[in-house]
Amino acid sequence: MNKVIGKPINRVDGKLKVTGSARYTADIPIENLTYGVLIESTIAKGKITKLETTIAETAPGVLAVITHRNVPKFNQITFFPGGQSLPILQDENIYYQGQHIGIVVAETLEQAQYAATLVKVEYKIEQPTIDIDEALKQGYEPEKIFGGMLPAHIFRGDINSGYSQAEVLVEQTYSTPMENHNPIEPSATLAVWEDDRLTLYDTTQGVFSTQGAIAKVFDIPPENIRVISQFLGGGFGCKAMVWSHTILTTLAARYVQHPVKLALTRAQMYTSVGYRAPTRQHLSLGATKNGKLTLIKHIGETITSPFDEFPEPVTLTTNMMYACPNLDTKYYIGRINAGTPTFMRAPGKAPGMFALESAMDELSYALELDPIELRLRNHADVDPGTGHRWSSKSLKECYQRGAEIFGWKHRNPKPASMSNGDSLIGLGMASATFPADTFPATAKVTIYNRGKFLVESATHDLGTGTYTVMTQVAAEVLGVSLEQVEFKLGDTNLPLAPLTGNSTTASSVGSAVQAAAMNARNKILEIAISDSDSPLYQAEPEKIIFDSGKLLLQNNPTVGESYQEILTRHGWENIEAVGSSLSKQEQQKYAKHSFGAVFVEVRVDRLLGEVRVARCVGVYGAGRILNAKTARSQMIGGITWGIGMALMEHTVMSPHYGRILNHNLSDYLIPVQLDVPDIQVQFVEEEDPHVNALGTKGIGELSVVGVAAAIANAVYHATGKRIRDLPITPDKL
Ligand code: MOS
């Protein structure tokens, strides 16, 4: 049998990418293209008092300057699902620096850029709120988190009795800064109208959600809009919602009656497509002397924009991570003069687990207990929130195997006890987890009489390997070679698939592809066994295998025939079948999460306080792994992000003007090659019959969770200094 699921197959789109033939949104060749450039507010709060556009309008090549003065009527977007709800170009009010206040369209990009500089804007400036403390003074407790999908206040047991049972208490505040996504491909939109039909090439993680939002905004039926997103150079959540540059480009294209392309600059990426809100997390852990948690209290203080409510959901994993009878988690948010924050890789879980796993480390020292042992003593055998059994959970094995590979037993538990010259050596660990959700998705498989197999679903490939793993799933189920299968994605003309987010694509679309391929091969099977001309006539269906492009008798594989032969004999060019990821009732009874353990060694320069990550081991239980190579790459990518989160990433806003001061990749630091050590990734074998049809759990976001805490814990072990405020920079040490 040609088993290809799980194999370290090279990316099927790899050649297209390295030869430059993969067309990203901004690369799509369109005739008569014109170019859009945004005009942005240079103040953070106030009103436009004067807007002078005539010079820009008469500049060479300019087709239009659209501002609130001359904007044609269109509907406004609503927050979630949709995008930032700030009315676009509706009045003179300014709520944040970088707010889009107009768009210039010209025949060339340079003409549009030049004309944009000729637009003169005067403002009445008001004092913006930028500081998180200031914002929280007028703050409030939100009822919902996660785009309104989940309740903000979660509690169980009795927190006061948790306090009275506690013999040891850790109560600390952990904070994380504002962060930006920084995909290598900046967001871009290319809008092409033909009468009342629109084709939108857009850097979106959700072609259908974009279609729905744009349909509402322009009051046209969704079926008149085709959204295409075939290659993405990363998204990380900043391409999940519809942002105003997409709407403005679409609007401009209709206004000038030409296709318009607009690509955000790197700097605009910091103010146009969301960010991760800064957090301040008050965390209390109480435990008995033998290390049993008696209480967990987690209050997430964070900020949102003046017009939407998106608190960074830091408590999502606190609620389910450890067995603890008494728990209380809630939020407090304030509004600052910034755009709306949004989903950013492992929303809430990445900063939330920094706090929880740092506090667990602190508790382990307070109890003089090994950090792994403390975690084992509080291992959640069932989901502590719901009492449901886990569909599968290999966390204990992750701890054990990770500790072994890493050499945890060589660690002297005493802080600042290990060194090598001026290098203080620190070893730290943390747990990781992420929900393993499966969303409704559909796929279609077409079997052609010329030995070709087309698989289609309107999902996306953010660079993670969707093209490759879906090809593998289809090839294995059909019993054909990878080269015979073509997978198409990223187009609203294809079968419905959800937004690519929440690490659900492998599970959701993979299960749909599996189902569609099974349905397709069964159709062929039915035809063969009921056809007296087939060598498989009247064979028992369950005794037939699918291998090497053929249907064969299991007990005598010399008997059988190919897909092509069956189709050709009946004079059919192709047959089609669809499949969906609909979960079975039985699967609803389980709590579904992936888990892992991260181990990190740091070297801290005794004199400079500089932290280098020397090595890292991550062991994960994430269900069935579809491709050992792309999975490993994803984990390395996420762990690298975790290194950045721990040591570098920090969006800096000027306290008076609300400007982002480091809106470029030379000042907003992310890890480069030399910052990333040897990263060892292992997956524990995990067979999960309950999680979904394919047995997969998402891994994309699991990878970043826990890394920052493991590094902070290692820094404490190296130095005896606990840094509770990310990023851990030399000045703090
Ligand atoms: Mo991701 S933050 O679910 O796009």
- Tell whether ligand 1 has an atom less than 6 A from the beta carbon of residue 240: yes
Ligand 1 near 177 CB (within 6 A): no
Structure tokens at 286: 């109480």
What is the C-alpha to C-alpha distance for residues 402 and 405, in angstroms, rounded to an integer?
5
* Ligand 1 atom with the shortest distance to the CA of 346: 2
The response to whether residue 310 sits with its C-beta less than 6 Å from ligand 1 reads no
Q: What is the pLDDT of residue 582?
A: 83
pLDDT score recorded for residue 80 = 78
Question: Which atom of ligand 1 is the closest one to the Cα of 501?
Answer: 3
Ranges of beta strands (E only) in 606-690 are 611-621, 678-683
Q: Residue 6, by phi and psi: left (phi above 0), alpha (psi -120 to 50) or beta?
A: left
Which secondary-structure segment (H or E) carries 212?
Answer: helix 207-218
Q: Does ligand 1 have an atom closer than 6 angstroms to the CB of 311? A: no
CA of 584 to the centre of ligand 1 (A): 25
Band (pLDDT 50/70/90 cuts) for residue 585 is: low
CA of 441 to the centre of ligand 1 (A): 17
pLDDT band at residue 1, thresholds of 50, 70 and 90? Answer: low
345 lines ligand 1 (CB under 6 A): yes
pLDDT digits (tens, 9 = 90+) for 508-531: 999 999 999 999 999 999 999 999
Tell me the pLDDT tens digit for each residue of 66-116: 999 999 999 998 887 778 999 999 999 999 999 999 999 999 999 999 999
- pLDDT, one tens digit per residue, over 324-351 is 999 999 999 999 999 999 999 999 999 9
Q: Which atom of ligand 1 is nearest to the CA of 502?
A: 3
DSSP 202: E
How close is the Cα of 562 to the center of ligand 1, in Å? 42
Residue 334 is encoded by which pair of tokens? 């304030």
Show the CA angle centred on residue 290, arms to residues 289 and 296, nearest 5°: 75
Q: Is 341's C-beta closer than 6 angstroms to any atom of ligand 1?
A: no
User: What pLDDT sits at residue 227?
Assistant: 98
Assign 586 a pLDDT band (cuts: 50, 70, 90): low
Distance CA 651, CA 668 (A): 7
**Ligand 1 center–CA 235 separation, angstroms:** 8
The predicted structure's pLDDT at residue 605: 98
Return the best residue to mutate from 80, 209, 236, 464 for the ligand 1 pocket (most ligand atoms within 8 A of CB): 236
Binding site membership of 146 for ligand 1 (Cβ less than 6 Å): no
Question: What percent of the chain stands above pLDDT 90?
Answer: 97
Label residue 17 by pLDDT band (50, 70, 90).
very high
Question: Strands, E, within 153-253: which ranges?
Answer: 154-156, 168-176, 188-194, 197-202, 225-228
| Residue 654 CB coordination number (10 Å) | 12
pLDDT of the residue at 637:
97
pLDDT tens digit sequence for 406-422: 999 999 999 999 999 99
- Centre of ligand 1 to C-alpha 341, Å, is 13
Mean pLDDT of the chain: 97
Report how far ligand 1's centroid is from the alpha carbon of 166 (Å). Answer: 37
Q: Which atom of ligand 1 is nearest to the CA of 343?
A: 2
149 CA distance to ligand 1 middle (Å): 15
Give residue 347 CA to ligand 1 midpoint distance, Å: 7
Query: Which residue among 229, 273, 345, 499 has the greatest number of ligand 1 atoms within 8 angstroms of its CB, and so is best to mutate?
Result: 345
Give residue 148's pLDDT band: very low, low, confident or very high (50, 70, 90).
Answer: confident
Ligand 1 close to Cβ of residue 237 (< 6 A): yes
Distance from Cα 236 to the centre of ligand 1, integer Å = 5
Q: Report which protein residue has its CA nearest ligand 1's atom 4.
A: 237
Q: Is the CB of 234 under 6 A from ligand 1?
A: no
Q: What does the block give as tokens for 533?
A: 């001309």
With a cut of 90, say whether residue 275 has pLDDT above it: yes
Q: Which one of 209, 343, 461 would you pick to mutate in the ligand 1 pocket, going by the greatest count of ligand atoms within 8 A of its CB?
A: 343
**pTM for the structure as a whole:** 0.97
- Is 344 close to ligand 1, i.e. is its CB under 6 Å away? yes
- 19 alpha-carbon distance from chain centroid: 27
**Which residue from 517, 506, 511 is spatially nearest to 582, judged by alpha carbons?**
511
469: left (phi over 0), alpha (psi -120 to 50) or beta: alpha
466 C-alpha to center of ligand 1: Å? 15
Q: How many CB atoms lie within 10 A of CB 674?
A: 7
For ligand 1, what atom is nearest to the CA of residue 240? 4
Before 81, cis peptide (omega within 30)?
Answer: yes
CB 82 near ligand 1, within 6 Å? no
What is the Cα–Cα distance from 591 to 587, expressed in whole angstroms?
Answer: 9
pLDDT tens-digit map of 376-400 = 999 999 999 999 999 999 999 999 9
* Euclidean distance between CA atoms 496 and 473, whole angstroms: 18
Q: Give the residue from 492, 693, 469, 732 showing the smallest Cα distance to 579.
A: 693
Distance CA 622, CA 626 (A): 11
Rg (CA), the chain: 27
88 DSSP assignment: S
Is there an atom of ligand 1 within 6 Å of 238 CB?
no
Q: Does any ligand 1 atom lie closer than 6 A to the CB of residue 276?
A: no
Distances (CA, A) of 27 to 182, 203, 345, 397: 19, 11, 26, 46
Ligand 1 nearest atom to the CA of residue 239, by list position: 4
Check if 701 is active-site: yes
| 677 touches ligand 1 (CB under 6 Å) | no
Query: pLDDT of 450-496, one tens digit each?
Result: 999 999 999 999 999 999 999 999 999 999 999 999 999 999 999 99
Closest C-alpha to 598, from 639, 647, 637:
639
Q: What secondary structure does DSSP assign to 281-341, as a single string?
A: EEEEEEE-TTS-EEEEEEEEEEEE-SS------TTTTHHHHB--S-EEEEEEEEE-SS---
Please work out whether the CB of residue 501 comes within 6 Å of at least one atom of ligand 1.
yes
Ligand 1 midpoint to CA 670 (Å)? 19
Q: Which of 312, 476, 601, 701 is the catalytic position?
A: 701
Q: What percent of the chain has pLDDT over 70?
A: 99
